[in-house]
Structure 1
Amino acid sequence: MLAVEQLRSWGLPLVAPGQIIAELAANAVTHGRVPGRDFRLALTVTPDTLLIEVSDARGDRIPEIRDSGRGLLLVEALADRWGVREGPVPCKVVWAELSLATASRGAAIRGA
């Protein structure tokens, strides 16, 4: 996955962000698809946080955690925060934040 290679080139954690990206991208393809339009992935890194944003053209379909799907449950479990905001009409953006300080500490603990 190109996004995971980008994370690797930045020296960032791969597992949790990769799973979040995969889930949000799958949701955009499955639930946010409009013929002729794609979804958009944006990764933003600040000193302490990785922000993952996936936008699609279905602003009328706001994702919710449901019993029938586990994708957002996984996102909720892996991300420090996540949510949905309106994008330029007709789009929406589903975002997730991961603390890089926590992720690095967790990797150090697992590696010990």
Structure 2
Amino acid sequence: MKLVTAIIKPFKLDDVRQAIAEAGIQGMTLSEVKGFGRQKGHTELYRGAEYKVDFLPKLKVEIAVADEDVDTAIEAIQEAAGTGKIGDGKIFVTALERVIRIRTGETNEAAL
């Protein structure tokens, strides 16, 4: 089992959600986050004053999947979230040692 974590642009959420559903993957967790990568923020103008925006708004999407579904999830996210421009985000894949469904006590793949 793996945890696929994607940092995406906020306006791409609906596209990513639809792509994940079409790929047959159920369930996702969403968090609003702020951060920056290589782009290191940008400057904006507000009431004639220029100021630097270091942390840009992003969304963190987390999806727990079985090992055989990892590549499917990654491809769906990449296609849906990509714009071809800087700041599209990143995808991280980490191993899940154990998963437990609280309500039923099911474990691992059965809990996904």
TM-score scaled by structure 2?
0.42
Higher relative contact order (CA 8 A, sep 6+): 2
TM-score scaled by structure 1?
0.42
The structure that is helix-richer by fraction is: 1
Larger-Rg structure: 2
